[in-house]
Amino acid sequence: MSRHVYLDHNASTPIHPEVVAEMLPYFSEIFGNPSSIHAFGREARDGVDRARERVARFLRVSPQEIVFTSGGTESDNFAVKGLAAARGKGHLITSKVEHHAVLRTCQALEAQGFDVAYVGVDEHGMVNPDDVRRAIRPDTIAISIMHANSEVGTIQPIAAIGRIAREHGIPLHVDAVQTLGKVPLDLDAFGVDVLSFSGHKIYGPKGVAALWIRKGTRMVAIQHGGEHERRRRAGTENVPGIVGLGKAVEVRARDMHAEAERVTALRDRLIDGVCARVPEVRLSGHPTQRLPGTASFLVRHVESESIVLGLDLKGIGVSAGSACTAGNIEPSHVLVAMGVPLDWAMGAVRCSLGRSTTAEDIDYVIECVEPLVRKLRQAMPVGAA
Ligand SMILES: *Cc1c(COP(=O)(O)O)cnc(C)c1O
């Protein structure tokens, strides 16, 4: 068995060769501290500055508005805590389907005395902008809604939510880790004030990410130390990582449109193939407002983890939407918020495609899924769960 098919791009992506090439000198020859004023330092600083300009050009913003961080998780923490701390107290609005980096940050803020409203979603995982409007209170200080959900791929109506935030003068943070470089992003049209994105979801390195903070947005730093990043995020810069992130964004700008089209066609081939071949399977997430490469399935009366492990034996990497802990099946918070019944949620499996995915990969996965699900259902008769 030598075939390997990676369909877990929403978890992480392989670094693009052009990105690796750009990073390499920064591990060896160009090693100075960007804060040093000598030539060694200046060379490293130039790499960081160029990366900042590349990211800013892509987003059509000013380079001074970009802050580099250690990952999407830090960007989300910084955004939510930074907006909250700048206001001291009050009420925040988020959704029930956010990444844990936002959800658990909000829970931590609740423990500190902030109030948080967790807006629900419909059966497709979509937030209703009117629910956001209804959740607004006189003391609402920030709204944080993700652009696209990593599990089911649903793209949220950010422009409508942004308009509501603007009308009320409330800053809007958007976790765009799953969308930057995959679908168009217009910060002004969307009415966004703070945007998170991460390197390793877009063929860049792990452990590096950024936050865009619209000029004039009141935010306080959550990490203190030196004067780095205009005193917004202390710590010696991850120079090779930042250089890689800048290059990854530049490559996305060049490739994203053609790739989105190609990946969407493959995704639909997978959806059609699986739904035609496997009985009692459904697509989860929004039927049309979804990420180009994400296909999440609900396979009734089968355990997610059994499918993931069964496909792993065939060299296929996908991810589970439900976990089996101490004999209990626990669907992800996203599926719970969508109200997916347990007999369907127990078999949630996410396939996320990327730039190296081929039609042969998709056909191979379809070939493998059908007999696997049949076998698993025979081993675990309906209702036994
Ligand atoms: C992956 C992910 C994150 C976290 O980013 P890391 O760089 O892995 O810390 C945050 N939000 C979403 C939507 C993600 O998919």
* CATH T-level fold of 5-12+256-384: Aspartate Aminotransferase, domain 1 (3.90.1150)
Ligand 1 atom 12, closest CA: 177
Do 349 and 8 touch, CB atoms closer than 8 A? no
From the alpha carbon of 101, which atom of ligand 1 is closest? 10
Of 106, 275, 324, 368, the catalytic one is 324
Ligand 1 atom 3, closest CA: 72
Ligand 1 atom 5, closest CA: 72
Pocket flag, ligand 1, residue 178 (CB < 6 Å): yes
**Closest to 370 in 3D by CA, of 292, 295, 302:** 302
* pLDDT in the model for residue 32: 98
CA distances from 164 to 91, 103, 127, 138, 190 (A): 16, 21, 13, 14, 11
Pocket flag, ligand 1, residue 146 (CB < 6 Å): yes
* pLDDT in the model for residue 1: 56
Residues 241 and 20: their CA atoms lie apart, in Å, by: 10
For residue 281, the cross-strand partners are 299
Q: Determine whether 368 is an active site residue.
A: no
Residues 123 and 96: their CA atoms lie apart, in Å, by: 13
Pocket flag, ligand 1, residue 250 (CB < 6 Å): no
Give the SS3 label for residue 284.
strand
Do 217 and 193 touch, CB atoms closer than 8 A? yes
CB contact set of 9 (below 8 Å; sequence gap of 6+): 201, 293, 352, 353, 354, 357
Ligand 1 atom 4, closest CA: 72
CB contact set of 203 (below 8 Å; sequence gap of 6+): 13, 14, 15, 16, 19, 248, 251, 252, 354, 355
Pocket flag, ligand 1, residue 176 (CB < 6 Å): no
Do 201 and 10 touch, CB atoms closer than 8 A? yes
Ligand 1 atom 6, closest CA: 72
- Do 5-12+256-384 and 17-252 have matching folds? no
From the alpha carbon of 201, which atom of ligand 1 is closest? 1
Pocket flag, ligand 1, residue 99 (CB < 6 Å): yes
Residue type, 27: F
* pLDDT in the model for residue 163: 98
* pLDDT in the model for residue 385: 46
Residues 282 and 300: their CA atoms lie apart, in Å, by: 8
Distance 68 CA to ligand 1 centre (A): 15
CB contact set of 110 (below 8 Å; sequence gap of 6+): 116
- Look up residue 129 and give its two tokens: 């902008």
Domain ranges of the chain: 5-12+256-384, 17-252
Do 234 and 224 touch, CB atoms closer than 8 A? yes
- Look up residue 92 and give its two tokens: 């925040």
Architecture of domain 17-252: 3-Layer(aba) Sandwich (3.40)
**Closest to 256 in 3D by CA, of 229, 281, 231, 291:** 291
Burial class (CB in 10 A: 0-12, 13-18, 19+), 208: buried
Helix (H) or strand (E) holding 342: helix 342-345
Do 205 and 199 touch, CB atoms closer than 8 A? yes
> Chunked in runs of 10, what are the mean pLDDT values of the chain (385 residues)?
90 98 98 98 98 98 98 98 97 98 98 98 98 98 98 98 98 98 94 98 98 97 94 96 98 97 98 97 97 97 96 97 84 97 96 97 98 93 54
* pLDDT in the model for residue 261: 97
Residue with tokens 């958007």: 174
* pLDDT in the model for residue 328: 86
